[in-house]
C-alpha cells in the first residue's frame, strides 16, 4: 500500500473513533441529566402537594374565623 492510502485509512479511522467516543460520552451525560431532572420533578410534585395541603388549611382557618366573626357580631 502506498503511504497516502495508509494516511487516508488512519485519518478516517481516527475520525470515526472520535465520533463514537463523543457519542458515548454524550449519552452518559444525557442519562445523568435525565436522572437529575426526574429528581427535580419529584421534588416539585412533593412541593405542589404541600402547597395544596397548606391552601386547604388556610381555607379551613378562614371558615372558622368567619364563624367567630359572626358570633362576635363583626361583619366578615
- How high does pLDDT run on average in the chain? 88
What pLDDT sits at residue 65?
A: 94
Burial annotation 10-35 (CB, 10 A radius, 16+ → b, else e): eeeeeeeeeeeeeeeeeeeeeeeeee
Confidence band, pLDDT 50/70/90 cuts, at residue 42: very high
What pLDDT sits at residue 76?
A: 58
- Opening angle at CA 17, ends 12 and 23, nearest 5: 130
DSSP structure string for the chain: --HHHHHHHHHHHHHHHHHHHHHHHHHHHHHHHHHHHHHHHHHHHHHHHHHHHHHHHHHHHHHHHHHHHHHHT---
Q: What is the pTM of this model?
A: 0.52
Amino acid at each position: 500500500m502506498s503511504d497516502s492510502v495508509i494516511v487516508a485509512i488512519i485519518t478516517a479511522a481516527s475520525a470515526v473513533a472520535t465520533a463514537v467516543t463523543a457519542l458515548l460520552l454524550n449519552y452518559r451525560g444525557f442519562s445523568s441529566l435525565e436522572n437529575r431532572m426526574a429528581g427535580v420533578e419529584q421534588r416539585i410534585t412533593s412541593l405542589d402537594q404541600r402547597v395544596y395541603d397548606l391552601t386547604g388549611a388556610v381555607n379551613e382557618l378562614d371558615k372558622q374565623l368567619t364563624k367567630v366573626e359572626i358570633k362576635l357580631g363583626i361583619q366578615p
